[in-house]
Amino acid sequence: MAKVRKAVIPAAGLGTRFLPATKSVPKEMLPIVDKPIILYIVEEAVRAGVEEIIIVAGRNKHGIEDFFDVSYELQDKLEKDGKTDLLEIILRIQSLATVLSIRQKQALGLGHAVLCAKPLVGNEPFAVLLGDEIMIADANAKTVTQQLAESYENTGKSTVAIMKVPNAEVVKYGIVDVKPINETTFAVQSVVEKPKVEDAPSQWALPGRYVFDAAIFDLLKNTRPGKNGEIQLTDAMTGLAQTKGLLASTFTSRRYDAGDKLGFLQANIELGLQHPEIGDGLRRYLLEYAQRL
């Protein structure tokens, strides 16, 4: 099977849940401690062997492109000031992968955003990583994208990540109807976009990590607008499940919904506690604060 060398990151949303902060700053550039959300996502893709990152952007998302571009003035300043540690960080970001950008001119849904990437993906298999979902694997563990890429490369079938959610939360996710293959792998029968509890086929939700065969593009092209008048990725996934087959896999990485205010703060606190510069100080502060409650 072909290696998964490309990844698509949909990043065209307006980030309305974080207004007014996102009026001029892309949601994907909001910091988790000292790194923007999107850098965590790109690093996960690179650890999976991805060489080319395709960002599907909307208007006013130039900050994302600039972040991964060369910054001559900053690099020159850091070099002259002898701040080689910071310079190395900047240079490492620039060399992570080839980063390309393509415009989604209309907000027609996640399925449409993925379809916009077709000219740059071509006929290759590719990963999709949502731009506000952070997945953190332990140092020696495989990332979620690694797991999905290896599944595709071993089976030839598109594979998506799933997690079990409470009944009260199924309305927030795409929900899959699955049949178990083993303890961690399932065969997908169909996918429903944000169903009511009574209509949900299971509690298995899609948290925003996928590896697809290029066949998904033809299915998306022929997918009619569904819920909210948008082209739903979940509808095309059902078509894929019923034709070429679609697998689902559980994962062990810690997951943060950084597109949600509470999830964003949780990510900052938990990743801040692991940060070598501020971890100890933050831990002391949290303990002291807890005693004042």
Q: What is the pLDDT of residue 66?
A: 87
Q: What is the pLDDT of residue 282?
A: 97
Q: What is the pLDDT of residue 213?
A: 94
Q: How confident is the model at residue 230 (pLDDT cuts 50, 70, 90)?
A: confident
User: Which residues lie below 8 Å from residue 43, measured CB to CB, with a gap of 6+?
Assistant: 96
Instruction: List, in order of start, the domains of the chain with CATH numbers.
Output: 6-135+145-259 (3.90.550.10), 265-293 (no CATH)
Quick one: angle between helices 261-273 and 279-292, nearest 10? 120
DSSP 257: E
Q: How confident is the model at residue 47 (pLDDT cuts 50, 70, 90)?
A: very high
Q: What is the pLDDT of residue 13?
A: 80
Percent of the chain, pLDDT > 90? 73
Q: How far is CA 6 from CA 2, 100, 119, 206, 247, in A?
A: 11, 10, 12, 20, 19
pLDDT single digits (tens) 126-159: 999 998 999 999 888 899 999 999 999 999 999 9
Q: What is the pLDDT of residue 105?
A: 83
Q: Are strands 126-129 and 209-212 parallel, antiparallel or unpaired?
A: antiparallel
Q: What is the pLDDT of residue 196?
A: 92
Q: What is the pLDDT of residue 139?
A: 81
Q: What is the pLDDT of residue 72?
A: 85
**Rounded to the nearest 5°, which phi and psi values hold at 193?**
-85, 115
**Structure pTM?**
0.92
DSSP 143: P
Nearest to 271 by CA among 32, 31, 28: 32
pLDDT at 184 over 80: yes
Q: How confident is the model at residue 117 (pLDDT cuts 50, 70, 90)?
A: very high
State the CB neighbour count (10 A cutoff) for residue 114.
Answer: 25
pLDDT at 14 over 80: no
Give the pLDDT mean for 261-277.
96
**Rounded to the nearest 5°, which phi and psi values hold at 209?**
-135, 125
Q: Where are the beta strands (DSSP E) in 197-239?
A: 204-205, 209-212
Q: How confident is the model at residue 120 (pLDDT cuts 50, 70, 90)?
A: very high
DSSP 171: G
3-state secondary structure of 78: helix
Name the β-bridge partners of 83.
Answer: none
Q: What is the pLDDT of residue 273?
A: 97
The rounded mean pLDDT for the chain is 92
Q: What is the pLDDT of residue 261?
A: 93
* Direct distance between the N- and C-terminal alpha carbons of the chain, in angstroms, rounded to an integer: 56
Give the pLDDT mean for 67-94.
89
Give the pLDDT mean for 223-228.
77
